[in-house]
């Protein structure tokens, strides 16, 4: 078969097998894998059952027994580059089942949708990559290069025992390029994401009876002044590589459309979220303690050191305050002009009739783990429909379009890179 004939065959398989794909996604969603607590064994079993039925090899790597990571490797029939596919198995927990009109772990298929916790983030993406791996294996004799599927646990709590463990301890999963299928929107290809700096600030004073305000400064009032001053972080100047700035400018309209107006502006700024405030015990007691927890996001092109220096400068003016760093991840990005971006855009145009724009992501994905090791990494997936909200669901028609795009993009990238 020619390359064009192979692509036609791939599209035929997807169309012909759509009912079984939908059934698989429903079963995968029913296999509850909330994190915390993080037990993904049942859901992993759904993935391995598919691979067993297809006769495809895999192995499980489980630094935590209850949270295995699946790695399936496919060697093509001739030499070429190594493409890695990545999705996660764990999902957000569901503590609001009473607000759902469909069972959170039911995987219900109705009115062109599949419902359930985690079906959007990101069991539909992990399933799509599993299918792409399966269909490309049918073309293994003529496929150039190597294809590795990684389905990981522990993404929702940072990836220590999932993607991070794999890239740190199993370099065979690194490859030459990574394709991740986290949700966002089929109209966008995400080439980077903002960094994360999480802080805990403790304010401590003697405290006293609420009527004797002259005896002690109030920890909560000090904290309030501190919060106001920290807002200055959002006005710090931002520098970006020209190709990144250009891509974000060109994709600004689409970012605002899919994430609501203002998203494009936030992408190009430092952002500050005060997520937790704890202070005071009783209305007639002057608080002697107040704890604040902040989530700061750093735009591509900037560094954690820049914002941390400003935080430390501000806190230095408050002798009652102390600082603890509770989490950090530098912003990461790959070139928006990388061949994988072109492969995804062309594949989407071929299968869905439109060309997605390259943008960066406001939220974090496991793609950053590969970028941190120097591997170009890109994310493409369905619309992030109701992620972590009641009645989370996936539109089946849109999802099938994403399945086609991911499969064709992987196929064309491997062939194009072999020809270079």
Over residues 195-207, the pLDDT tens digits come to 999 999 999 999 9
pLDDT tens for residues 371-399?
A: 999 999 999 999 997 898 999 999 999 99
Are 69 and 146 within 8 A, CB to CB?
A: no
pLDDT interval class at 369 (50, 70, 90): very high
Question: Is there a cis peptide before residue 36, judged by omega within 30 degrees of 0?
Answer: yes
Tell me the domain boundaries of the chain: 3-193+331-419, 195-329
pLDDT interval class at 1 (50, 70, 90): confident
pLDDT at 272 over 80: yes
DSSP helix, strand, coil percent of the chain (3-state; round to 5): 40, 25, 35
- pLDDT of the residue at 415: 96
195-329 matches 3-193+331-419 in CATH topology = no
CATH 3.30.70.360 describes domain 195-329: yes
Are 179 and 375 within 8 A, CB to CB?
A: no
Rg (CA), the chain: 23
pLDDT at 338 over 90: yes
Rounded mean pLDDT, 13-38: 97
- pLDDT of the residue at 385: 76
- pLDDT of the residue at 37: 97
Nearest to 164 by CA among 175, 176, 155: 155
pLDDT interval class at 20 (50, 70, 90): very high
Mean pLDDT of the chain: 96
pLDDT tens for residues 35-66?
A: 999 999 999 999 999 999 999 999 999 999 99
- pLDDT of the residue at 168: 98
- pLDDT of the residue at 418: 87
User: Which helix or strand (DSSP H or E) is residue 200 part of?
Assistant: strand 195-204
The C-alpha torsion from 220 through 199 and 160 to 32, rounded to 10°, is: 40
> For 55, left (φ over 0), alpha (ψ -120 to 50), or beta?
left
Give the predicted TM-score (pTM) of the model: 0.93
Rounded mean pLDDT, 74-97: 96
- pLDDT of the residue at 420: 76
- pLDDT of the residue at 419: 82
CATH of 3-193+331-419, one of 3.30.1050.10, 3.40.630.10, 3.90.1010.10, 3.40.50.150: 3.40.630.10
Rounded mean pLDDT, 76-91: 97
Cα separation of 307 and 303, whole Å? 7
Rounded mean pLDDT, 256-262: 92
Nearest to 418 by CA among 148, 142, 181: 142
H runs (alpha helix) in 260-325: 263-267, 304-315
């Amino acid at each position: 078969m020619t390359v064009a004939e192979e692509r036609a065959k791939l599209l035929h398989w997807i169309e012909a097998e759509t009912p079984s794909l939908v059934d698989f996604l429903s079963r995968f969603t029913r296999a509850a894998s909330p994190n915390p607590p993080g037990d993904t064994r049942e859901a992993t079993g759904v993935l391995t059952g598919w691979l067993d039925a297809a006769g495809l090899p895999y192995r499980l790597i489980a630094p935590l027994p209850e949270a295995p990571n699946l790695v399936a490797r496919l060697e093509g029939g001739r030499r070429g580059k190594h493409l890695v596919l990545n999705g996660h198995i764990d999902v957000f927990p569901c503590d609001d089942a009473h607000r759902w009109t469909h069972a959170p772990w039911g995987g219900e298929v109705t009115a062109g949708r599949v419902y359930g916790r985690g079906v959007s983030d990101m069991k539909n993406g992990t399933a799509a990559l599993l299918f792409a791996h399966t269909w490309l294996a049918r073309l293994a004799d003529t496929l150039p290069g190597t294809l590795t599927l990684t389905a990981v646990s522990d993404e929702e709590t940072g990836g220590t025992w999932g993607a991070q463990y794999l890239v740190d301890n199993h370099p065979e999963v690194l490859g030459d390029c990574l394709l991740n299928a986290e949700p966002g929107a089929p109209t966008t290809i995400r080439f980077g994401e903002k960094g994360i700096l999480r802080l805990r600030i403790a304010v401590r004073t003697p405290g006293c009876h609420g009527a004797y305000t002259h005896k002690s400064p109030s920890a909560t009032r000090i904290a309030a002044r501190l919060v106001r001053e920290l807002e200055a972080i959002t006005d710090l100047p931002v520098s970006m590589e020209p190709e990144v700035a250009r891509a974000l400018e060109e994709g600004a309209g689409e970012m605002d459309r899919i994430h609501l107006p203002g998203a494009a502006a936030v992408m190009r700024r430092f952002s500050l979220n005060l997520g937790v405030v704890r202070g005071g015990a009783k209305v007639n007691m002057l608080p002697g303690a107040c704890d604040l927890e902040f989530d700061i996001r750093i735009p591509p092109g900037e560094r954690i050191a820049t914002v941390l220096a400003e935080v430390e400068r501000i806190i230095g003016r408050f002798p009652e305050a102390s600082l603890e760093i509770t989490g950090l991840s530098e912003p990461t990005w790959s070139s928006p002009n990388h061949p994988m971006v072109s492969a995804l855009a062309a594949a989407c145009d071929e299968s869905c009739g439109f060309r997605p724009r390259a943008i960066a992501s406001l939220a974090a994905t496991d793609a950053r783990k590969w970028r941190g090791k120097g591997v170009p990494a890109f994310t493409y997936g369905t619309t992030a429909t109701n992620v972590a909200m009641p009645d989370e669901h996936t539109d089946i028609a849109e999802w099938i379009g994403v399945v086609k795009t991911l499969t064709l993009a992987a196929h064309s990238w491997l062939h194009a890179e072999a020809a270079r």
